[in-house]
Structure 1
Amino acid sequence: MTLKLLIGNKNYSSWSLRPWLLLKAFGIAFDEEVVLLGDADFKARIAAHSPARQVPVLIDGEVAVWETLAIIEHIAERFPDTPIWPAAPAARAYARSIATEMHGGFGALRSAVPMNLWRPVELRELPAKAVADLDGITARWRSARQRFGAGGDFLFGGFSAADAMYAPVATRIRTYGLPVDAVSAAYVEAIHAHPAFAEWKAAALKEEQVLPVDEVDWPEVKRV
């Protein structure tokens, strides 16, 4: 049975990007349904599948899974021969730890610079708490790359769930011209070069719905 993934706007919905990117990166077949975040019936449509009334939601037959990490773990169980997580125990533990941190933390950075793929690259100064978040994220990236990154361009060498979780941060770094170290800059480039991400962004740039809350230059809407 084919999986179905309910997602929000590709330009703005960072949480939707994560499981979509994971499924695409590993060639797992699924259908997608875009439910635009700004539509009046958004919560009602999602409520039919998730009490949280938020995207993403993965539908697997009679099973509905919401919350991104829960979706990722469901995919890992459903496709046990797919390297969703690193194989080595130490790497897998580190990957799960930083993925969970991303799921529940770094709120200052996410609030200061929302994901917005159609905004031209333009420097935006961060408040101190967001700078601290960015420093923490890039420190984890450097550690993962140094300890476990041999054999590929991603945090643990090959693409994994950890990369899906951090991909929206990579977009923020580029969009807002945020200064990072050389290791992190190379990782940002690797995310943007991934064919699955390129497919997502191409679709995002064709969208029309504008969400003022995610436009930091509002009332101006800057588009590439």
Structure 2
Amino acid sequence: MDLYIGNKNYSTWSMRAWLVLQHFQIPFTEHLVPYDDFLPEQNFKQTLAKITPVGKVPVLKHQDLIVWDSLAICEYLAELFPERHLWTQDIKTRAYARAVCAEMHSGFMALRSLCPMNITQDFTQLGQQLFHENADLQADIKRIEEIWSKREYPKGFLCGNEFTIVDAFYAPVVMRFKSYGLPVSESSQNYMQTILNVGAVKAWIEAAQQES
């Protein structure tokens, strides 16, 4: 398997697919395509154009198959390796997990636009200002906290005691909340710390810190 990703410091969608492969110990070769100005003649678009017409990351290449969407990549991996339990085993909990993954996949636009992921920076002062000035950002944070509050165990993951795909999808949100110092409850802080303690997340952060 080959996974094409963008900069670890910035690329939230790359992070999701990478975490699943890394955490579940699925062998793969990483290809980091550094961000640039995304012009058609520059390296980023030129490199990805040889793999997928979409021209975005992440992209998973497995033999003759190309998958170019984070959620589709994770679903493919879950079907390819059912014994590794990438999703929770309970059918109702799994349906819920898929729903909140899809919600993250298509929603929370205020958080995305106002607080882009930048792992290496401390934007606490800016984050506090943005929070107080933007009702849409407040609504996004409130909804995310509602999702996080439904976990069964205070220091557990979103769907039990094990890291699954749904946690990979919310891991970049943890990075944003941390970098921007956004005000969240003690329960949310516990979940954030749980994610930050995951080995694959630690490895991603360490690599992001080494990027120029």
1:6 is paired with a residue of what secondary structure? strand
Alpha-carbon distance, 1:80 to partner:
1.3
Once the 2 structures are TM-superposed, how far is the Cα of residue 48 of structure 1 from its aligned partner?
1.6
Alpha-carbon RMSD: 1.3
Aligned length: 202
For residues 47-72 of structure 1, the C-alpha deviation after alignment (integer angstroms, 9 at most, x for no partner) is 22222100000010111101111000
C-alpha offsets along residues 190-214 of structure 1, whole Å, 9 cap, x if unaligned? 1111111111111111111xxxxxx
1:140 equivalenced with 2:140 (yes/no): no
The superposition leaves residues 97-121 of structure 1 with CA deviations (integer Å, 9 ceiling, x where unpaired) of 0000000110111111110010026
Runs of 5+ in structure 2 lacking a partner? none
Q: In structure 2, what is the equivalent of residue 206 of structure 1?
A: 210
The aligned residue for residue 82 of structure 1 is 84
| Aligned: 1:167 with 2:171 | yes
What is the alpha-carbon distance in structure 1 between the residues aligned to residue 135 and residue 49 of structure 2? 37
| Aligned twin of 1:193 | 197
| Partner SS for 2:74 | helix
Q: What residue is the counterpart of 2:158 in the other structure?
A: 155
Question: Gaps (5+ residues) in structure 1?
Answer: 209-224
Mapped to 2, the partners of 1:191 and 1:4 lie a distance apart of 25
TM (norm. structure 1) is: 0.87
**Partners in 1 of 2:124 and 2:202 — Cα distance?**
20
Partner of 2:65: 63
- Letter of the 2:147 partner, please give it: R
Say which SS state the counterpart of residue 81 (structure 1) adopts: helix
Which among 120, 124, 141 is matched to residue 118 of structure 1? 120
CA distance in 1, matches of 2:15, 2:199: 14
Deviations 1:168-205 (A, max 9, x none): 00111111111111211101111111111111111111
Partner of 2:102: 100
Shift of 1:37: 1.4
Q: CA deviation at 1:27?
A: 1.0
Q: Displacement, 1:96?
A: 0.2
Opposite residue 207 of structure 1, the aligned amino acid is E
Deviations 1:94-147 (A, max 9, x none): 10000000001101111111100100262413221011011111101112x13x
Of 22, 25, 36, the match for 2:20 = 22
Q: Matches of 1:103 and 1:11 in 2, distance apart?
A: 19
Name the structure with the higher helix share.
2
Q: Tell me which amino acid in the other structure corresponds to 1:165.
A: F
Seq. identity, %: 43
CA distance in 2, matches of 1:53, 1:81: 32
